[in-house]
A and B are shown apart, each in its own frame.
Chain A
Amino acid sequence: MIEIKDYFRPKSVEEAYEKLINIEGAEIIGSGAFMRLASRKINLAIDLQDTGLNYVKLEKDEIKIGGATPLGEVERSEIIKEVFEGKLIHVLQSIWSVQLRNIATIGGTIFPKLGFSDLITALLVLNTDVVLFNNGRMPLEVFLTEKIRKDILVELIIKNENRKMSFQYMRNSFYDFSILNSAVSVDEERNFRISIGARPAVAKLATKAMEYLKNNNDIEEASKLAAEEMEYGSNIKASKEYRKMIAPVLVKRGLEEVIQ
């Protein structure tokens, strides 16, 4: 059970951050959809809905998504439908239901670095930056390795480039979280990006395989390399061995799709 002592809806991100830092036990909330699944005590729940962080916009070659934007708004955005051949819509629609996506936010999906996250895996193969109120702008792959506890995810910035992408996952049923997921992308200069997530740890780029594909065309070998450079673990969903075996298959499917 989640226990919340007080609730606050600031009018600006500055005000939200000031409370987050100065009040012990203060936490940012999206809608509370994921938080409620764990048992925790929150002294002050800070709701960002009035801070102007609900938007999807295209500025020059950058797609900007506000940190408090519900996933459903992102999915319905005409901008998102247009870019990357509409593939991001497919990723968003793999996140449970219309009703959940209408409340779950970008901040609540990216900031906690959830291992099973589908969106993180997909965004890693696009050139995505995370903008934090205090720690500033950094590539998503850097953010995922940083130990940042108290900050506010203000915006995501995705480079709008001519990049083909594919998102693959394995799950027991559509009603479940991914047992393993993978995303692959390639630009016009054959710069590949490959990520594997839900291992069950959060997604990571397969940099060796990405490097290999700069000078080689062997997809089978690249998929093997990508799978080998990751660590896997066991949990209730699947064993380490199973994940290790399906990883090259998902990567290969993705590579085949983007090369077509």
Chain B
Amino acid sequence: MKITLTINNTKREVEISPSEFLLDVLRRLNYSSVKKGCDTGTCGVCTVLMDGKPVLSCSILAASADGHEITTIEGIEKDPEFKNISNALLEEGADQCGFCSPGLILNVYAMGKELKNPTEDEIKKYLVGNLCRCTGYVPQLRAIKKYFEVKA
């Protein structure tokens, strides 16, 4: 079946199978920043924005995304907020292998749009679905708190 996705502001007609999930379609289209981890809705590395809201691309049918706007890391590359978030992560040593970073950055980006000055508790609640094997979360939390402090 044919669907229309607006990916990073570009309208694309895509041929998909009704069984396919959005993650596989995005990777097939070379949006390789979108990672496949658990593929069961648990790890958050497949996070993309759908109509501005963070969603798990592994857990939403591609057909259900028909007509919606999808944003991946490639789509916010030139946004100063992207630079601010990734610099904060780099400065605090909060990314090691980097596999979780695209999903994490997109979720922090979405949090910034939704919550103006989040408390530590709100940050933790918002990011609970972004698992990281490497950092132990301490430097990530430090970096994200710093990002919001500077932003405020």
Residues on A lying within 8 angstroms of B by beta carbon are 1-7, 9, 29, 31-33, 36-37, 45, 47, 49, 72, 93, 96-100, 102-103, 174-175
Contact = CB atoms under 8 A, between A and B. Distances in A.
Nearest to B63: A7
B47 interface: yes
B102 interface: no
B14 interface: no
B112 interface: no
B129 to A, nearest CB: 2
Contacts of A3: 19
B19 A97 contact: no
Interface in B84-135: 107, 110, 125-126, 128-131
B9 to A, nearest CB: 20
B125 A33 contact: no
Interface of B: 1, 17-19, 21, 40-42, 44, 47, 50, 53-56, 59-61, 63-64, 66, 107, 110, 125-126, 128-131
Given A3-B19, A9-B66, A36-B21, A98 B54 contact: yes
A37 B40 contact: yes
Contacts of A4: 17-19, 61
Contacts, number: 84
Nearest to B40: A37
A42 to B, nearest CB: 9
Nearest to B131: A175
Contact of A7 (B18, B59, B125, B129): B18
Given A36-B21, A47-B64, A103 B59 contact: yes
A36 B56 CA distance: 13
B64 A99 contact: no
